[in-house]
Amino acid sequence: MTETRNGKGLLIVVSAPSGAGKTSLCQELTRTLPNLTHSISYTTRAPRNGEVNGKDYWFVSVETFEKMVAERAFAEWARVHQNLYGTALATLDDMRNKGKDVILDIDTQGAMQLREKMPDGAYIFILPPSMEILEERLRKRQSDREDEIQRRMAKAREEIAAYSSYDYIVVNEEFQTALAELKAIVTAEKCKVAYINNSWVDTTFLGG
């Protein structure tokens, strides 16, 4: 019942250490939930095999990214694993103002920046079942050198230390279970009083 909503889209922010599976979970959540759109971030890193510009990320030069920072074009941005990542503020506001629910897949630095500007979002942290399984998943990707894997593991510990700054924790031990928990969070967020159309309640129930 769309008339029950106040017209503003939800903001869902998801963070996780590299290898925890947040990208796959976010993509599947977007594919299966109506009205949920994945916000495409900007990055200075090179595309991985199979990644498409404008679909997975907007791949830009360092110069272009730094110009956007200077112009205050980002809602949040951060340096992660020697590369820059950011979310365009105008795109985010436009989607939400049109009633689109938006999901962001960003690191802890960016999430905390965004939380200061948009505290009404739902902030979710994805955990692996253990550090041993996280390392195993990173190795199975076969896309990183040994020194890079060790860097990512060290970074993972830093990121996990920020878990208490989030609203929800989902442990990605089994993909479909983690996906179901994410869907439940989105459903609960849609039922919050902040997203209810007050005029509909007044007219339907209170004679307003």
Q: Supply the pTM of this predicted model.
A: 0.88
Q: Which domain holds residue 157?
A: 2-199
* Structure-token match 């994945």, residue found: 38
- Does the residue 39 lie in any domain? yes
- Does the residue 133 lie in any domain? yes
- Does the residue 204 lie in any domain? no
The residue-averaged pLDDT of 166-181 equals 98
Predicted confidence band of residue 49 (pLDDT cuts 50, 70, 90)? confident
Please report the DSSP string for 113-153 in residue order: HHHHH-TTSEEEEEE-S-HHHHHHHHHHH--S-HHHHHHHH
- Does the residue 205 lie in any domain? no
Query: pLDDT tens digits for 18-29?
Result: 899 999 999 999
pLDDT at 115: 93
Instruction: Indicate which CATH number applies to the domain containing 82.
Output: 3.40.50.300
Using the predicted structure, report yes or no on whether residue 2 has a pLDDT greater than 80.
Answer: no
- Does the residue 156 lie in any domain? yes
- How many domains does the chain contain in total? 1
